[in-house]
């Protein structure tokens, strides 16, 4: 427990008689000492597993309600029975509590929280802050040196917008190293997609004006930009500058075409998010559609995890639980538009207050939109329903395959959701950068957060058996004496040889050989001809091309192979890049250290521009160009 104020007193709360165990008394003792302050609380079970993370305006009042005689729901009662330890962190405000809660949920994946996992940040469009700014696609943290517009729901929306800016405002998109070394304009200038600042074909002031107009266009000021362009064209014509007038006329034509295409999308508010939540059969989908600068940029469907285990202290409907979790986790570290259009009526002033405090402006919720907004919301809800139906049909198919596998392996598992499979594969390039992968299948789905890679060392290059022995030993020697924590099936990519090696490891560690299953490739490595090889004396099985069990096993096996080969390639490339960095004349140990300190890795150095490299102490622009050329 950290930063607790122990002067608080426990409210009048009647605790059940069965809570008299020493562990429960310890927990209740901690609850009684909680302060009347905002903060975040965390529940753990006897094995130290994180069960739940929550935020509170008043810690003692909120946490104590979990231990009342009458539980709000059976699922909460089940969770409370498992609580063996409680930790809290006091925060200065509800905003800080919201930030901390959402970050903990995203990073620690508590068992009873609804979790929105998003492996990538949302993309932005960036206009760089240089003499001749460049418009680029961008992911990552924003800063004050450049202008950022977005976020966008997907990469295609960013690229489409960049194409519009090229057509209308003719802004450059080329790399800085290319821009600084050109003496003649490229093809983009020839097709009127760039004004040629690299060759001095446009004045600084004119290019700067185009950049400003592009930024205003992205902020929703299309009509004002069009009016200014019209005045500019008329001014050129009055001064008999017909070529310049024709150029501006082409800009007006391109912008008018864009505005005509978007006339059906126009909205009075420049930035709006439309959020539709659909829940069915224990699954949920949230469809997020984004309107930026009056333009509908598209939508994205996201699916929360832990829906089957999730608890909600306030007894909200599942749709409201999902909506609250999405708002908190999606907007906690991102930009929030002033208007949110929702398909569920939300009454949570504390959440809105926290989000408003974070973004610095009021957030207006709309539940019954009219006109174009109503069409957007209906479209978002329909897309959410379609995406959810696709997931449910896949889930039904996957569930049938899992049940068939349980029957095939004669496993004593009543709930298919409990089946856990860990699969291993070895990857290397002629003995270089040997790496083993472990992927996990649980709850009828691949669990990406539990994937692990193992760098293999100290073996003869190319010895896959020794590599498998090493990774299985490292993975399962920690579980000796804890058979209840072992997976039901350990899948190895290979036939009798790999199964024999796995059997030797399990025999030495004392684990059950019946867990080991090898996947031997068929004749000609044709899909559907694989054979399952067992370590406990059972005869090998050929399941046939139409077997659902084989489809499931092949899916997990292929995922282990993909994860291994991508890790191996990254490790190999890192090693090769590192050697190439050492070979660059003028880059000694100190300069390498400074480069790595600035960019984090050799990959980061390779991704940096020449200008970024030149900002490192001891790296001249000429050397930066040399480093860039060497790594590309």
Please report the DSSP string for 434-447 in residue order. EEEEEEEEETTEE-
Name the one residue in this structure whose structure tokens are 């490739």: 521
User: Has residue 70 been placed in a domain?
Assistant: yes
Residue 259 and residue 277 in one domain: no
Task: Specify the pLDDT at position 9.
Answer: 40
Residue numbers of the domain that contains 623? 584-630
Task: Specify the pLDDT at position 4.
Answer: 40
Residues 6+ apart with CB under 8 A from 261: none
Task: Specify the pLDDT at position 256.
Answer: 64
Q: What is the pTM of this model?
A: 0.62
The domain boundary residue, chosen from 79, 108, 137: 108
Residues 6+ apart with CB under 8 A from 616: 591, 594, 595, 598, 624
Task: Specify the pLDDT at position 11.
Answer: 43
User: Has residue 410 been placed in a domain?
Assistant: no
Structure tokens at 354: 């926290």
Residue 364 and residue 428 in one domain: no
User: Has residue 258 been placed in a domain?
Assistant: yes
Contact 609, 181 (CB under 8 A): no
Residue 179 and residue 198 in one domain: yes
pLDDT for 178-211, tens place per residue? Answer: 888 888 888 898 888 898 999 889 889 889 988 9
Sign of CA dihedral 324, 330, 331, 333: positive
| Helix, coil or strand: residue 497 | helix
The domain boundary residue, chosen from 265, 289, 324: 265
Task: Extract the residue ranges of the chain whose pLDDT is less than 70.
Answer: 1-21, 71-72, 118-121, 220-223, 236, 248, 250-251, 254-270, 313-315, 333-334, 429-433, 522-528, 567-568, 570-583, 632
Q: How many domains does the chain divide into?
A: 5
User: Has residue 9 been placed in a domain?
Assistant: no
Buried b (16+ CB within 10 A) or exposed e, 65-80: bbbeeebeeeebeebb
Residue 514 and residue 537 in one domain: yes
User: Has residue 411 been placed in a domain?
Assistant: no
**Whole-number Cα distances in Å, 236 to 185, 222, 227, 241, 362:** 25, 21, 15, 5, 44
Give the number of other CB atoms < 10 A from CB of residue 482: 10
CATH code for the domain in which residue 329 is found: 3.30.420.340
Residue 305 and residue 221 in one domain: no
215: enclosing H helix or E strand: helix 204-218
């Amino acid at each position: 427990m950290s930063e607790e104020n122990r002067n608080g007193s426990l409210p009048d709360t009647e605790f059940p008689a069965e809570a008299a165990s020493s562990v429960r008394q310890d927990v209740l003792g901690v609850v009684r000492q909680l302060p009347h302050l905002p903060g975040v609380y965390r529940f753990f079970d006897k094995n130290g597993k994180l069960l739940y993370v929550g935020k509170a305006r008043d810690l003692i009042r909120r946490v104590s309600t979990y231990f009342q005689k009458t539980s709000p729901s059976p699922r909460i009662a089940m969770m409370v029975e498992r609580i063996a330890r409680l930790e809290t962190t006091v925060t200065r405000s509800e905003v800080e509590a919201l930030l901390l809660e959402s970050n903990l949920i995203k990073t620690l994946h508590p068992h009873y929280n609804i979790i929105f996992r998003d492996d990538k940040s949302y993309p932005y469009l960036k206009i760089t802050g240089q003499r001749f700014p460049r418009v680029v696609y961008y992911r990552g943290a924003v800063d004050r040196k450049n202008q950022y517009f977005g976020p966008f729901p997907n990469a295609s929306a960013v690229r489409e917008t960049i194409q519009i800016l090229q057509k209308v405002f003719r802004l450059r998109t080329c790399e800085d190293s290319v821009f600084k070394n050109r003496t003649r304009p490229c093809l983009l200038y020839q097709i009127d997609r760039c004004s040629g600042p690299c060759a001095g074909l446009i004045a600084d002031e004119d290019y700067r004006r185009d950049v400003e107009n592009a930024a205003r266009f992205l902020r929703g000021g299309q009509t004002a930009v069009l009016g200014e362009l019209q005045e500019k064209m008329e001014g050129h014509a009055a001064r008999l500058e017909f070529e310049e007038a024709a150029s501006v006329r082409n800009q007006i034509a391109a912008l008018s075409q864009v505005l005509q295409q978007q006339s059906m999308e126009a909205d009075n508010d420049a930035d709006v998010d439309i959020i539709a939540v659909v829940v069915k059969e224990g699954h949920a989908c949230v469809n997020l559609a984004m309107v930026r600068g009056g333009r509908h940029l598209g939508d994205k469907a996201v699916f929360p995890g832990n829906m089957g285990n999730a608890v909600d202290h306030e007894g909200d409907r599942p749709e409201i639980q999902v909506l609250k979790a999405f708002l908190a986790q999606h907007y906690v570290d991102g930009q929030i538009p002033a208007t949110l259009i929702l398909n569920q009526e939300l009454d949570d002033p504390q959440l809105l207050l926290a989000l408003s405090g974070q973004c610095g402006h009021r957030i207006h919720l709309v539940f019954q939109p009219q006109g174009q907004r109503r069409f957007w919301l209906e479209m978002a809800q329909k897309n959410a329903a379609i995406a959810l139906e696709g997931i449910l049909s896949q889930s039904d198919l996957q569930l049938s395959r899992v049940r068939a596998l349980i029957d095939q392996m004669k496993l004593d598992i009543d709930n298919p959701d409990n089946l856990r499979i860990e699969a291993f594969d070895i990857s290397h390039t002629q003995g270089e950068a040997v790496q083993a992968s472990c992927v996990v299948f649980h709850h009828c789905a691949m669990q990406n957060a539990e994937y692990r890679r193992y760098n293999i060392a100290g073996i003869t290059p190319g010895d896959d058996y020794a590599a498998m022995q090493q990774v299985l030993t490292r993975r399962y020697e920690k579980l000796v004496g804890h058979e209840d924590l072992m997976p039901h099936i350990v899948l190895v990519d290979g036939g009798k040889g790999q199964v024999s090696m796995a059997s030797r490891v399990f025999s030495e560690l004392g684990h059950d050989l019946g867990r080991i299953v090898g996947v031997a490739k068929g004749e000609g490595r044709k899909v559907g001809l694989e054979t399952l090889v067992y370590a406990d004396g059972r005869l090998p099985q050929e399941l046939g091309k139409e077997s659902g069990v084989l489809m499931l096993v092949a899916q997990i096996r292929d995922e282990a192979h993909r994860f291994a080969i991508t890790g191996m390639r990254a490790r190999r490339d890192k090693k090769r890049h590192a050697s190439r960095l050492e070979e660059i004349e003028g880059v000694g140990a100190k300069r390498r250290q400074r480069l790595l300190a600035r960019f984090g890795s050799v990959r980061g150095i390779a991704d940096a521009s020449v200008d970024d490299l030149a900002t490192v102490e001891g790296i001249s622009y000429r050397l930066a160009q040399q480093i860039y050329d060497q790594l590309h």
